[in-house]
Amino acid sequence: MSDKFDVIVIGSGPAGYVAAIRAAQLGLKTACVEKWQNKEGKGVNGGTCLNVGCIPSKALLDSSHKFYEANDHFKTHGITAKGVSIDVPSMMERKDKIVKQLTGGISSLFKANGVTSVFGTGKLLANRKVEVTDSNGKTQTLEADNVILASGSTPIDIPPAKVDNDLIVDSTGALEFDSVPKRLGVIGGGVIGLELGSVWKRLGSEVVVIEAMEKFLAIMDQQIAKETQKILTKQGLDIRLNCRVTGSETKGKKVTVTYTDKDGNDQQETFDKLIVSVGRRPYTEGLLAEDSGVNLDERGFVYVDDFCATDAPGVWAVGDVVRGPMLAHKGSEEGVMVVERIAGQKTAINYDVIPNVIYTHPEVASVGRTEEQIKADGEPYKVGTFPFAASGRAMAANDTDGLVKIIAHADTDRILGAHIVGPSAADLIQQVAIAMEFGSSAEDLGLMVFGHPTLSEAVHEAALAVHGHAIHVANKKKR
């Protein structure tokens, strides 16, 4: 292997592997360094997302939803299903098979595009040199004209509930249960906590979510957040807000959690398993030599400019390790932007139009600003909403919870944000994201012809409702 490259990428998660493939497509001699190992101790690509994040969690969400439907909703369609049971090991085997297929796919794509794959722990040295230490402790030093840091993130630990990978687990451990816990505690009512809590609730767990924030999904549009809380509570999730965990104790096969409730009273709950999901932090341990020239900001993220360049010439950073939302698709696009700029192109990212999704059922998705943010900015605005309960397609699917909300500037009519809780919200939000990228108005969406009957019509009707023109629901009087 030649030790001089045009580009070296450290990390092969969604930000890293996409950057490596695009760099190779642009004719740049590229290497990608990855430390991840599978259960057999073999190096694999894909990072957290493919191995223990986005992909395996969605596999379990899909499996658990099918089980839930068979038990609780098939009879609505006239289907009788008797003796339905869940085989957790088989469910996990399916999940692992999907992970293996996708991580293997990255290796195949690397070969097809001419990316050199290097397994080991990468460390950035001065002058764009990268020291790689393999699993046996053997080191080699690679050199490049450009280095891209894509080391990702790792779960945040909290002292009152230290992860022991047995009774107390993080998001990774929650993907590996060998049976359904009778009683499950979840510390953290954010994206990861709600998704994992939903998986095990559908499979039969009694789930208690303990969240420190006073508001549910505080960073989201609060109309959508309140509707989501109502739906998830109806499904059986016990969501306790404004509660701070103060301690935990394991005894036998149980874990007892102590917390202070919203009234300041000490409370205790005992669980069979406890998931700690209070967020993630950038992963930079061992990543940077002291003389690398790369700086971290006050929150521990690699400091970068608007185009993901660090303070060290020729060194870039993308994905979860830099500022902005920790989203796989955000990191992927940053990876593409960086290598295209290295190749002399003027690629940029519109950070104002990045969709965000929570994969509960129904899904929750958003793009642009919330009503609270727009109001705080002092901009005049109009809102249009449409409930899925009025959607013929949603009724046919027996999936009518939730609504679509579109916010437009009151004077220019330009779409400022869209927020959805409901069936296929992750896919529907992309329609509005595309419209926003091209500067569309609510009227533009309202003038488009949408297929019938589709869930997409809810987006169309919400756009019409901005001006009081919705057809299939009574319009609210506009101010």
**Virtual CA dihedral for 14, 17, 23, 29, nearest 10 degrees?**
160
Of residues 73, 452, 467, 472, which has the active-site annotation? 452
Measured between alpha carbons, how far is 3 from 142 in angstroms, rounded to an integer? Answer: 5
Kind plus residue range of the DSSP H or E element containing 247: strand 244-251
Measured between alpha carbons, how far is 229 from 222 in angstroms, rounded to an integer? Answer: 10
**452 an active-site residue?**
yes
Could you give the count of Cα atoms lying within 13 Å of 372 in the half-sphere of its Cβ?
10
Measured between alpha carbons, how far is 287 from 125 in angstroms, rounded to an integer? Answer: 9
Q: How many CB atoms lie within 10 A of CB 178?
A: 7
**Which three-class secondary structure state does DSSP give residue 94?**
helix
Measured between alpha carbons, how far is 32 from 7 in angstroms, rounded to an integer? Answer: 8
**CB within 8 A of 62, min separation 6: which ones?**
none
**CB within 8 A of 354, min separation 6: which ones?**
325, 327, 329, 330, 367, 433
Measured between alpha carbons, how far is 293 from 129 in angstroms, rounded to an integer? Answer: 12
Measured between alpha carbons, how far is 118 from 185 in angstroms, rounded to an integer? Answer: 39
With CA atoms as reference, report the closest residue to 333 among 316, 350, 321, 345: 350
Backbone angles phi, psi at 124, to 5 degrees: -80, 125
Kind plus residue range of the DSSP H or E element containing 57: helix 54-72
**Which three-class secondary structure state does DSSP give residue 171?**
coil
Measured between alpha carbons, how far is 205 from 216 in angstroms, rounded to an integer? Answer: 21
With CA atoms as reference, report the closest residue to 4 among 21, 27, 29: 29
- Chain center to CA of 47: 14
Kind plus residue range of the DSSP H or E element containing 146: strand 139-149
Contact 304, 323 (CB under 8 A): yes
Active site residues: 452
